[in-house]
Structure 1
Amino acid sequence: MATEDKNRATAAAILPLVGGAANVSSIAHCMTRLRLGLHDRSLVQDDALKAVPAVMGVVDDDTYQIVLGPGTVARVTPEFEKLVEEGRASAPEPATTVTAEELASQGAEMKAARKAKNATPFKLFLRRIANIFVPLIPALIGCGIIAGLNGLLVNLGWLTSVTPALAAMASGFMALIAVFVGYNTAKEFGGTPILGGAVAAIIVFPGVANIEAFGQKLSPGQGGVLGALGAAVLAVYVEKWCRRWVPEALDVLVTPTLTVLISGLVTIFGLMYVAGEVSTAIGTFADWLLSNGGAGAGLVLGGFFLPLVMLGLHQALIPIHTTLIEQQGYTVLLPILAMAGAGQVGAAIAVFFRLPRNESIRRTIKSALPAGFLGVGEPLIYGVSLPLGRPFITACVGGAFGGAFVGFFNQLGDAVGSTAIGPSGWALFPLLDGNHGLGATIAIYAGGLVVGYLAGFVATYFFGFSKDLLTEFNVSQEPAASPATAAGTPAPVTGPDPLEKTPAGV
């Protein structure tokens, strides 16, 4: 009960700081962030939000995102939804209507201005792809950990009567993941979700083994998540076409029938083969890349992942990760990309030592480091390295060295992979898998983290500050809105915020 009270208290602290229930148009959450659609962005009190103890930081994107961390966000969101519903129900009817119209008008103008400046068709498409796959991450994590536990028990020869049940739990979701992808795809693209799932289900149906296409027998699961995504998108367009041309009296019978029939035939006699070839090519290329240029590939992937995240382009990797997990049981890319977080942690520790008199920044680092070690990088990125400038670049250097380390062992034939996507840092240990035993896999990944920490620290300590920047920031200050608030630690109001200035050493 105490935990529920704590989560409700967090939700209650957040709600008035985002403009109250009347200002909230939509509520969702991902692995670490509470994502809110807001009518009027100007009503949000950013600094006060960052000072809420459970809040690690905020990100103003297509939605307003409040970083709460894994586990916490899944518990706070339902409480927040209840409070919003209660607030709307208790608000006076006339005032609610008028206020909502005014806020919607102002919010629409601000949102349109931001979208015109920042949004591109490609990034919007990638967000849609992320919206399809992100809801699947909790199941991937749960099933991945069960798969790891089952593998450990099998290797040790323990609980042999239980391991078949664990194998079924771990494999059941992956066997039907195409159905969930189809369902989410249709929902995201404006179709009927269950029709998207129905068409995608064809891909995993055992009976397709009796069908021949392009001169060869199909196999259940051929095309995987990519085929399911394509099939569901096609189903959405067929359904929308039917809605325009089929008479309303016949719509309930004709539209779903034609949607499944047309999309299903195209899937069976086209998409499954094409998507299967693409999926195979992705797996082959990933194996080739790390087998032949593992250290170099790891250097590039680990070094550029943080900028990809900042630009939102990392979302393009989600279907690739899922395809590799579906094909090989794990993705060899994620442990390398996770090294970017290690570089970030090492850089933050170096900043801590380089700025011994700036208590506000040091307090931010101390409060954000535990989350950073567990793979939650937003507090360190937005509260420390990015505002300072150079430390963000040196953090990327640390990620590059850590990625090169893991990639080098992949090049030697020791594949290091993750059975799920989402976690990184220390939180990835329970999800690790490879081709040379769990002990070797864990040792290589841990070694990569250590290399990333050390490289990020050394690069930042010696090259992360110019003389002017070091002089400017290495002062004893207690700012009113220091980056400490980005990690959820309020700072006393005694002076200006040094991070509001443009770093001179970038």
Structure 2
Amino acid sequence: MKHEQLANDIIERVGGKGNVKSVVHCITRLRFKLKDEKKANTESLKNMDGVVTVMQSGGQYQVVIGNHVSDVYKAVVSVGGFKDEGATDDAPTDEPNGNLFDRFIDLIAGIFTPILGVLAASGMIKGINALFVAIGLLENTSGTYQILNATGDGLFYFLPILLGYTAMKKFGGTPFLGMTIAMALVYPALEGIPGASEPLYTLFSGTMFESPVYIEFLGIPIMLMTYSMSVIPIIVSTFFAAKVEKFFTKVIPSVVRMFLVPMMTLLIIVPVTFIVIGPIATWASQLLGSFTSWSYDISPLFAGAIIGGLWLVFVMFGLHWGLVPIAINNFAIQGYDTILATMFTHSWALAGAILAVWLKSRDKKIKTLSAPAFISSIFGVTEPGMYGIALPLKRPFIITLITSAIGGAILGFFRTTGYVLGGLGVFQFPTFISPEGFDMGFYAAVIAAVLGFVLAFVLTWVFGNVNKKEQESPVTGGNSGKK
């Protein structure tokens, strides 16, 4: 009943059921697409009990709830009569609000948000498995290791299939059609051809695009690439697949549309993906990975300070979605990533700042918000602490950015590397364990986390002005001090 009342209040303040085009949720936020954001009563929403804050970014009206957002989301869908994880009408191809940049952020968020939970869970399992091997509890030849490895690695190997679903849904096509395209890309028989036979000939010899040709399609050379764990090829192919499907839906008679539309779409898109989209996207991925590595190699310390120090700002404006595909791409191309590793300190610095606020504040509501926000930050979920505590009090947020930058510089200087994708906060430690065991990069991650936590705690305790009246009001919902 508590969630239903909150859901009713939220729907009323976003402009009513008729103003909602769609609603989904991520780890901590309800993500609305509204027909007119001006109809929403943002200030009233921010001051509601049960709502941390409101953000408007990437063409989305985001109501930050906290760790129990899934329960509130179910109530919102039930009370509002909305489609679960979908649009409120039958027009999934509606263009997102905002400019080109907002639409890009909306696209990335829409594709990756639905799988974030299982993505993080799989990464945690892989990290724990690596930890067990590193400390000698398991042998990497044991059956237990193999089962745990399959459990954690299965999602990453078949990632294109999940992205085929979410991307096709985002582009307004049939999700299972996108999955089928992805299944063709990771079909084991095709992936095994390069190791089982000699190439017919080689294209672009002597260049970074050198590609041996093992098979042809209607006389056209097929440059077989490895698409397991890939991101860009399936997103691009589903973009075109949605348009091709829409075309055939218009021209094919309804009596045979059910099977002819997907058949014709697959017959066109799958070969085109293998012949054109796949190779070009893979080459682009290789260039992007090379450029990222080159930039990092110039000054890892500076790169780490920038990424680590600004990570929460990226999250606040939705910019972090632009770095996630790069990291996944690095794992697919290089087998490891140094980019997302440099942001590791941010959750520990935020946790230190929140702990200082929790212990020092005399405001009951701040104390109530601080406890779960602190615990969430330890496990890498930063939105409750950032929006509920650090940002409204301002100084703790600035202190968090500074200490995160210091930690990021340390991680960059010692070239801390993530060897598996996934895991947040305390669960991210195992991802830094090298296949050869513990190295200086792992120890640097421990040092950066401890230093970020302690330094943020001390600086917030001394300079945070936690009990300053005019800074308490944004959290408590009282007078902000303005006349």
Shorter-chain TM-score category? 0.7 to 0.9
Partner residue in 2 for 1:107: none
Partner residue in 2 for 1:227: 233
Partner residue in 1 for 2:184: 202
- Structure 2 CA distance for aligned equivalents of residues 240 and 326 of structure 1: 31
Worse-superposed segment, 319-328 or 190-199: 319-328
Aligned with 2:271 (options 265, 272, 275) = 265
Please give the secondary structure, in 2, of the residue aligned with 1:28: strand
Write the mapping of 1:411-490 to structure 2, written as runs, cut at 5 A.
414-420=416-422, 424-429=424-429, 431-438=431-438, 442-456=442-456, 475=468, 482-484=474-476
Cα distance, 1:30 vs structure 2: 0.9
Cα distance, 1:431 vs structure 2: 4.6
**Number of aligned pairs?**
437
1:137 pairs with 2:116: yes
Partner residue in 2 for 1:242: 248
Partner residue in 1 for 2:380: 375
Alignment CA distance shift 1:459-1:138 (3 Å): same
Alignment CA distance shift 1:44-1:252 (3 Å): farther
Please give the secondary structure, in 2, of the residue aligned with 1:162: helix
Aligned-pair identity (%): 27
Please give the secondary structure, in 2, of the residue aligned with 1:407: helix
- Structure 2 CA distance for aligned equivalents of residues 363 and 241 of structure 1: 55
1:67 pairs with 2:71: no
Cα distance, 1:352 vs structure 2: 7.2
- Structure 2 CA distance for aligned equivalents of residues 17 and 292 of structure 1: 52
Please give the secondary structure, in 2, of the residue aligned with 1:216: strand
Please give the secondary structure, in 2, of the residue aligned with 1:186: helix
Cα distance, 1:400 vs structure 2: 1.1
1:158 pairs with 2:164: no
Partner residue in 1 for 2:10: 18
Please give the secondary structure, in 2, of the residue aligned with 1:65: strand
Root-mean-square deviation (CA, aligned residues, Å) is 3.9
- Structure 2 CA distance for aligned equivalents of residues 44 and 26 of structure 1: 21
Partner residue in 2 for 1:316: 322
1:100-122 deviation line (CA, Å, top 9, x unaligned): xxxx9xxxxxxx9x95xxx2222
In the alignment, is the contact (CA less than 8 A) between 1:383 and 1:484 conserved in 2?
A: no
Alignment CA distance shift 1:243-1:448 (3 Å): same
Alignment CA distance shift 1:265-1:202 (3 Å): same
Gaps of 5+ in 2: 83-88, 90-94, 195-199, 204-210, 214-223
Partner residue in 1 for 2:391: 386
1:434-484 deviation line (CA, Å, top 9, x unaligned): 35525765532221122323554566678x68xxxx6xx8556897x6504
- Structure 1 CA distance for aligned equivalents of residues 347 and 21 of structure 2: 33
Worse-superposed segment, 428-437 or 132-141: 428-437
In the alignment, is the contact (CA less than 8 A) between 1:417 and 1:434 conserved in 2?
A: yes
Please give the secondary structure, in 2, of the residue aligned with 1:196: helix
Alignment CA distance shift 1:349-1:143 (3 Å): closer
Alignment CA distance shift 1:250-1:274 (3 Å): same
In the superposition, the TM-score normalised over structure 1's length comes to 0.73
1:128 pairs with 2:133: no
Partner residue in 1 for 2:221: none
Cα distance, 1:301 vs structure 2: 0.9
In the alignment, is the contact (CA less than 8 A) between 2:55 and 2:61 conserved in 1?
A: yes
1:343-398 deviation line (CA, Å, top 9, x unaligned): 44445566679x87777656654563333333332333333443444554443222
The one-letter amino acid paired with 1:227 is P
In the superposition, the TM-score normalised over structure 2's length comes to 0.76
Please give the secondary structure, in 1, of the residue aligned with 2:280: helix
Please give the secondary structure, in 1, of the residue aligned with 2:451: helix
Alignment CA distance shift 1:19-1:283 (3 Å): closer
In the alignment, is the contact (CA less than 8 A) between 1:223 and 1:273 conserved in 2?
A: no
The one-letter amino acid paired with 1:158 is L
In the alignment, is the contact (CA less than 8 A) between 2:173 and 2:246 conserved in 1?
A: yes
- Structure 2 CA distance for aligned equivalents of residues 349 and 153 of structure 1: 31
Partner residue in 2 for 1:408: 413
- Structure 1 CA distance for aligned equivalents of residues 172 and 261 of structure 2: 15
- Structure 2 CA distance for aligned equivalents of residues 12 and 386 of structure 1: 28
- Structure 2 CA distance for aligned equivalents of residues 289 and 370 of structure 1: 35
In the alignment, is the contact (CA less than 8 A) between 2:159 and 2:229 conserved in 1?
A: no
- Structure 2 CA distance for aligned equivalents of residues 379 and 157 of structure 1: 36
- Structure 1 CA distance for aligned equivalents of residues 81 and 246 of structure 2: 33
Cα distance, 1:229 vs structure 2: 0.8
Cα distance, 1:264 vs structure 2: 1.4
1:110-140 deviation line (CA, Å, top 9, x unaligned): xx9x95xxx2222212211221112122222
Aligned with 1:178 (options 160, 164, 167) = 160
Aligned with 1:395 (options 397, 400, 404) = 400
Partner residue in 1 for 2:169: 187
In the alignment, is the contact (CA less than 8 A) between 2:127 and 2:431 conserved in 1?
A: yes
